[in-house]
Amino acid sequence: MRALVQRVSQASVSINGGEPKGIGQGFVVLLGVGSQDSQEEADKLWRKISNLRIFPDDQGKTNLSLGQVGGNILLVSQFTLFANCKRGNRPSFIEAADPVQGEALYEYFKTLVSIEYPHYVCGEFGASMDVNLVNHGPFTIWLDTNQL
């Protein structure tokens, strides 16, 4: 499982051209599910994200977690995080989970998020979405459960 985590001052998602739903300070989490992933990887990834200390404290050091700053989460499914561009110029997505597995693990991950952050915002699996964000810092972290 892979996640691209961006620290934001604000972010929103519009699904299929609908009204945007957004957050203020927090994380945008782009979540990719791989073909070999399970709930165990989702649990591991969520523990890492929920405990990331990438917000500044009073001295300007990145010592505070999302919960400590009262932040929130915008979660978006992003199978393209499993793009393989080793051969040619057209990405292959063969390492991404099939839609049934991908959606099931995305929904499971949403459940993990909702336990700690009941007012989170999320995209819709498989939908066309526009994501707008202000990356504060900028601060972007790449997480892969194979490397955690």
Q: Which of 70, 58, 80 is nearest to 27 (CA)?
A: 70
User: What is the DSSP pairing of strand 129-144 with strand 21-23?
Assistant: unpaired
Instruction: Tokens for 132, please give them.
Output: 């707008």
Q: Is 147 a catalytic residue?
A: no
Choice among 36, 68, 80, 140 that is catalytic = 80
8-state DSSP, 96: B
Q: Is 68 a catalytic residue?
A: no
Choice among 6, 78, 82, 125 that is catalytic = 78
Choice among 79, 82, 109, 125 that is catalytic = 79
Q: Is 79 a catalytic residue?
A: yes
- Evaluated on CA atoms 44, 103, 115, 57, the torsion sign reads positive
Q: How far, CA to CA in Å, does 82 sit from each of 36, 48, 60, 79, 130?
A: 12, 19, 34, 6, 19
Residues that are catalytic? 78-80
